[in-house]
Amino acid sequence: MGYKPSKKGIPDLETGANLTPMMNLIMLLIPCLLMSTVFIEITVLNVAAPSIGAPGGASDTPPQNDKPPLNLTVTITSKGYTVAGSGGVLGAEVKEGEESKGPTIPIKEASVNCSQYIDTGPVPRDKNRDRKPCTKDEAAQNVHRTFWIYDNEALQKKLVEIKDAYEDEERIIISAEQDVHYEAVIHVIDISRQIKDPASGEVRELFPEVVISPGFM
């Protein structure tokens, strides 16, 4: 007659989770994630705020030259760009006997590629409120729409003319109304620092010392 073996001498072994397949999967995913990583290049522009000196400090030091500073200032408004200097505001072209009341370079209507804007439109956006924003389909198909935009080309042309007249001047002050988008300010900073000849590719420096007006900050 046989005896049934007793289970008292057999230890109760608990089986844990096998993590080896999961670790192998993670090791395979790491190279894929690294290959799909998008690296973004960030450019930093050096701008400064106007320095505040002691009262009467400027009059105690005699000027180094007889030529007064230009104090070139570009003010960004919802109506366009106003360019001013020591001689006053450079007004827009007006007829003889009339007074200039508008900006130096007013905004204009132009055709814009929607690929640059998705679910939005160009600045000044307050002026374009009555116009439908560009859709994703329009952006994918490079559809052109008409919007109000800042005339950056005319502003840079005006800055080149000023640079030709004041070759030693390197500083420009940028001011803006409170409701102006930062996108418009960045555009002015970019086009006021330098200009590139599309034919030769030569880069000419305009006003590299950019000063942000404290009223805008």
In a domain, 145, yes or no: yes
Report whether 185 contacts 168 (CB < 8 A): no
Tokens 């007004």 map to which residue? Answer: 91
In a domain, 117, yes or no: yes
Residues 172 and 73: their CA atoms lie apart, in Å, by 6
Cβ atoms within 10 Å, residue 61: 8
In a domain, 34, yes or no: no
Beta-sheet strands, E only, within the chain: 47-48, 73-77, 80-85, 88-90, 105-106, 108-113, 144-149, 171-176, 194-196, 203-205, 209-212
Mean pLDDT for 115-129 is 92
- Binning pLDDT at 50, 70 and 90, where does residue 17 land? confident
Mean pLDDT for 115-144 is 92
How far are the Cα atoms of 22, 171, 207 from residue 47, in angstroms, in the given order? 51, 10, 12
Which residue has better confidence, 82 or 37?
82
pLDDT at 33 over 90: no
Mean pLDDT of the chain: 81
Mean pLDDT for 62-82 is 81
In a domain, 119, yes or no: yes
- Which segment, 21-25, 92-96, 125-129, is predicted with the most confidence on average? 125-129
Mean pLDDT for 191-205 is 90
Residues near 143 by beta carbon (within 8 Å), at least 6 away in sequence: 113, 114, 134, 137
- pLDDT given at position 57: 47
- pLDDT given at position 48: 67
pTM of the prediction?
A: 0.69
- Residue 70 exposed, middle or buried by CB count within 10 Å (0-12, 13-18, 19+): buried
Residues 147 and 108: their CA atoms lie apart, in Å, by 8
Residues 120 and 134: their CA atoms lie apart, in Å, by 6
In a domain, 62, yes or no: no
In a domain, 36, yes or no: no
- pLDDT given at position 145: 94
In a domain, 176, yes or no: no
What share of the chain has pLDDT > 70, as a percent?
Answer: 72
In a domain, 165, yes or no: no
Which residue has better confidence, 88 or 82?
82
- pLDDT given at position 3: 60
Task: State the total domains in the chain.
Answer: 1
For 134, the domain range is: 107-150
- Which segment, 52-56, 67-71, 141-145, is predicted with the most confidence on average? 141-145
Using alpha carbons, select from 94, 216, 99, 72 the residue that is nearest to residue 155.
72
